[in-house]
Every structure is written in structure tokens, then in C-alpha cells.
Amino acid sequence: MSLDLLAPSRPRSRRLGADSGAYWQGMTDAVAGLSGPLAAISTDALRYNALDMVVRAGGVPIRVASKSVRVREVIDATLAVPGYQGILAFTLPEALWLVETGHTDVVVGYPTADRAALARLAADPVAAAHITLMVDSIDQLDLVDAIAAPGARERIRLCIDADASWRAPGLGHIGVRRSPVHDVAEVASLAQEIVARDGFALVGLMMYEAQIAGQPDKEGASDPVIRWMQRRSGRSCSSVGARSSRGCATSRRWSSSTAAAPAPSS
């Protein structure tokens, strides 16, 4: 069965909002005769959520995270909805498979040290044109160069993974410790290192604000504190993100203007 999230929803006699007990019992009954382990998806809920997110995004393209959505049919159906664009993949081998099966805009969500997969990427012009690697250290560029020298491989697309945790005055670190690249100067320094090296293309910047996105909407008595933290952290992320983006853009313009000249010595 092909999953079409743009097709009209069929009338249902049992809706979650109307009678949650009956709804979940219906889901249980639907898979009662099947051997586990398995998962059941409500296509009505999937359709509603997918379309609602497009409205909430207000025109900003949404990238589907295959590292979280592990059902290929759901990924393909969601990407068929206008407003969705590209995949955030779990691993480089997964990204290679996604491109082999037709997807054309895949970002690997985490830095990789998978030597075999990196060798495949470096040798495949189609994969190299459609896959972007995540990096947060020059060491990761050194690894790629050690596997395949710049002059003997495809150009590798890179996205900088910048830490978006909030270093709150008096409170310290709030959020995850995702990347060693935190402030604007560190982002700009890494960007300049990337564009100064042969065989790489800096194409993006990613920031994941776990202290905002990872918090439930309702936490009871702690709601006011959570909301305060999210507002303050959000303003900080917006400022750092905007200045970091400008720094990356400046580095890319510098790279284009000096592409024919030798890289400056350190």
C-alpha cells in the first residue's frame, strides 16, 4: 500500500480526542493477530501532524530526520508533502543508501569516522553531490584526507555543527554538550579552516537547541522556569546563529575570491 498524506482522510468512527480509550483499543485490535515486535501508525495522526507542521513553519522548509523516523514509507510520504525538503540521516551508510534509492538532499546528523563509508562517498560522484557531512573539528577533515587525498576524490560537502547550549549567567551550562564549537569566533575559525583546504565545500551551519526543543510543553509547577529559560536561551541562539551564519558566509566569499591563490600560511 502506498501512503499518500495529501489524499483526503477517510471518516473514522473512533477519534483520539473523542474517546481515547476506544481509539487505543482499536489500534490494539488492529494488530492483535500479528506477530511482534511491530509498531502501528495512525495515518490520520501522521497526516494531521505533517500538515500542521507545514503551517507552523511559515514557509521555512522542514528537513525530515530519518534518525528519528525509522520507517522508509513514512519518510517518503512526508517528503511528498510541499514544505518538506531533504533528510537528516542517522549515519553515513544510511545516507549512501538513501541516495542510491533516489533521494538527493541528505545531511548526516553527526560527525562520522566510518572509514569504509567515507571511502565510498569519496569515490562516488553522485553520492558526493547529494550528501553533506557534519563536522565539528579539523580532525574530521584530516581523516577524510587520509582516506582519499583531495586530488584523488570527489569534493566533500560539509556542514558545521555548532553547539547551541545556553551558558547562562550565574547558572552555567544549560543544554547538551553536542559540539566543541560554541561561540561565533570558533564557528568562524572552523569555517575559515574548511574553505582554505582543497577537496571540501562548506555548504551549511547547524545548531540544535536541545534545551528548547527537547523540553516538554507542559511540566506542571516548573512551567514558568522552563518558559523563562527557553525565552532567554532562544534569544541567545538567534543572536549566535545569525552572527555565525554571517561569519560562514564571509568565509565562503573569501574562499571564492582566493580560489586561484595559494592558501595563506599559518
The CATH number for 229's domain is 3.20.20.10
CA-wise closest residue to 107 among 122, 78, 127, 123:
127
pLDDT tens for 150-159 read 999 999 999 9
Has residue 20 been placed in a domain? no
Whether the per-residue pLDDT at 262 is higher than 60: the answer is no
Has residue 130 been placed in a domain? yes
Report how far apart, in Å, the C-alpha atoms of 43 and of each of 50, 66, 80, 171 are. 10, 18, 15, 43
Has residue 15 been placed in a domain? no
Give the domain range for residue 215: 90-257
pLDDT at res. 161: 95
Whether the per-residue pLDDT at 128 is higher than 50: the answer is yes
pLDDT band at 61 (very low <50, low <70, confident <90, very high): very high
Phi, psi at residue 19, to the nearest 5°?
A: -155, 90
pLDDT at res. 250: 67
Residues contacting 145, CB < 8 A, separation 6+: 197, 199
Q: For the whole model, what pTM was predicted?
A: 0.83
Percent of the chain at pLDDT exceeding 70: 87
pLDDT at res. 260: 30
Has residue 40 been placed in a domain? no
CA-wise closest residue to 69 among 48, 96, 102, 41:
41
- Read off the C-alpha cell for 265: 600560511
Residue 9 exposed, middle or buried by CB count within 10 Å (0-12, 13-18, 19+): exposed
Q: Taking residues 56-76, what's their average pLDDT? A: 94
More confident residue, 255 or 49: 49
Least confident of 5-9, 59-63, 67-71, 102-106: 5-9
Has residue 68 been placed in a domain? no
pLDDT at res. 226: 80
Q: Which residue's C-alpha cell is 560562514?
A: 248
DSSP 36: S
Strands (E), the chain: 62-65, 84-89, 106-108, 131-135, 156-163, 166-168, 172-174, 200-208
For the sheet containing 106-108, what is the strand order? 62-65, 84-89, 106-108, 131-135, 156-163, 200-208
Q: How far apart are the first and last CA of the chain?
A: 59
Query: Can you tell me the distance from the alpha carbon of 104 to that of 131, in angstroms, rounded to the nearest whole number?
Result: 8
Q: Taking residues 65-83, what's their average pLDDT? A: 94
Whether the per-residue pLDDT at 133 is higher than 50: the answer is yes
Residues 219/226, Cβ–Cβ less than 8 Å: yes
Whether the per-residue pLDDT at 49 is higher than 90: the answer is yes
pLDDT band at 264 (very low <50, low <70, confident <90, very high): very low
Number of domains in the chain: 1
Has residue 76 been placed in a domain? no
CA-wise closest residue to 68 among 89, 84, 47:
89
Has residue 18 been placed in a domain? no
Has residue 64 been placed in a domain? no
Query: Can you tell me the distance from the alpha carbon of 153 to that of 218, in angstroms, rounded to the nearest whole number?
Result: 50
